[in-house]
Amino acid sequence: MNVQNRPLIVFLVILSFLTGIIGGIGGIALVASSKTLQKSVGIKTDSGIAFPAQEKVESISVKEDSAVVSSVKKVSPAVVSVVFTKDIQVINPFGSQFGMPDQSVQQQQGGGSGFILTSEGLIATNKHVADVDGAKYTVITQEGKKYDATVLAKDPSSDFAILKIDAKGLPVVEFGDSDNLDIGQRVIAIGNALGEFQNTVTVGVLSGKERTLTATDSSGGQSEPLEGLLQTDAAINEGNSGGPLLNLKGQVIGINTATAAKGQAEGLGFAIPINSLKSAVDSIKKTGKIVRPYLGVRYVVVDSKISAIKGMKNDSGILIVGGTNQPAIVIGSPADKAGLKEGDVILKVNNDDVGKDKSLVGVLTKYQPNDEVTLHILRDGKEMDVKARLGEMPS
């Protein structure tokens, strides 16, 4: 090889090397910027998912959003605002001293939500919305029409009531199946938020089922134990009470009833499952009142501590136990007549388990007063069956 040509050869080799690097970088950039080339050569991302999968995720999101919009359009015409007004006497202890009346009348106002059950004007709402003595009720539809409303019935076992307005041809809701729900599925709440913003829509997921809590009204006065509730992170505010909780098919799966106290927690809203109210709705249609079956026991749900004390293998059932000045067995009740005792653990009603995963109230909604049921109980370490004939729950 000619020594004089060696520098030229070295230059050409370096030039070829640099050209290859530049070409490779350019090719990678071209492929990275082109989804078509990625697909044609089968290149995938580091996660193992081809780039076009992003389009699939966006498609799913758009489809879900579309389902929310469709559900809201379907149900909103049947969602109403419920407003009450009440005249209250206010005493002015210094009125006479300043030439003013000793008493004056002021108007108390409040509100909630509801939804239309029948085209003839039956409205579902919460009992605590419709439980103001001496109040006048007005129902306002999505179109802005106002109707005087009467309280037709209040459920003795849950926060549920029925109003009646004089109207015909109204849009109605469709019921879903609250027993067939999955934790994490999307849900939609509609209601008269804060008693001011009509048909406000919030979206979240189903966070839990079979929740138990003690609900207190906004004045902090009356409280009521509620069982078998659905839990959601969809925002539920004052005024949402009585509005529907929907699935993505636009079916009512619950009635919004409570939220966690402000400052304690966020994203904790609760709804009464609609299946527990279907029998009440049927009852009001047939008889004009809500009829509920009644056993007559006070109890707590069995937990790990109770099961250990009782020598039980599992945390199941409900323990019959009284409270302060409250007997465990209501005297003269079906439970009393069946021979149940304080300390008994009810494990099943017929073939349905009761306990932390299924409330007694929820199970009993399947039956009518005068139905005979078999209670499978644990007493003094022994399991046995007891027959009980259900009564009608006092209003």
Classify burial at 321, counting beta carbons within 10 Å of its beta carbon; exposed 0-12, middle 13-18, buried 19 or more: middle
The string of DSSP codes covering 307-321 is HHHHT-SSS-SEEE-
Of 71, 155, 157, 159, catalytic: 159
- CA 139: distance to chain centroid? 23
Give the CA radius of gyration of the chain. 32
Note the helical H segments in the chain. Answer: 6-32, 35-41, 53-75, 275-287, 304-310, 334-338, 360-364
Which amino acid would we find at residue 156? P
- Could you tell me which residues come within 8 angstroms of residue 224 by beta carbon, excluding any fewer than 6 positions away? 128, 159, 214, 215
Residue of 157, 158, 178, 241 marked active site: 241
Tokens 């009993």 -> residue: 364
DSSP state of 261: P
- Is-catalytic flag, 71? no
Please give the Cα distance from 373 to 368 (Å, whole number): 10
Angle made by CA atoms 9, 13, 14, in degrees to the nearest 5: 120
Q: One of 71, 81, 113, 128 is an active-site residue; which one? A: 128
DSSP string, 71-94: HHHHHGGGEEEEEEEEEEEEE-TT
Distance from C-alpha of 333 to C-alpha of 251, rounded to nearest angstrom: 37
CA 360 to CA 316: how far, in whole Å?
12
Q: Does the annotation mark 128 as catalytic?
A: yes
Give the amino acid at 16.
Answer: S
Measured CA to CA, the distance from residue 142 to residue 364 in angstroms comes to: 35
| Cα distance between residue 330 and residue 339, in whole Å | 11
- Residue tagged 């509730």 (tokens): 229
Name the pairing type of β-strands 186-193 and 197-216.
antiparallel
- Could you tell me which residues are beta bridge partners of residue 110? 84
Is residue 182 classed exposed, middle or buried when 0-12, 13-18 and 19+ CB atoms within 10 A define those classes? exposed
Q: Which residues are catalytic?
A: 128, 159, 241
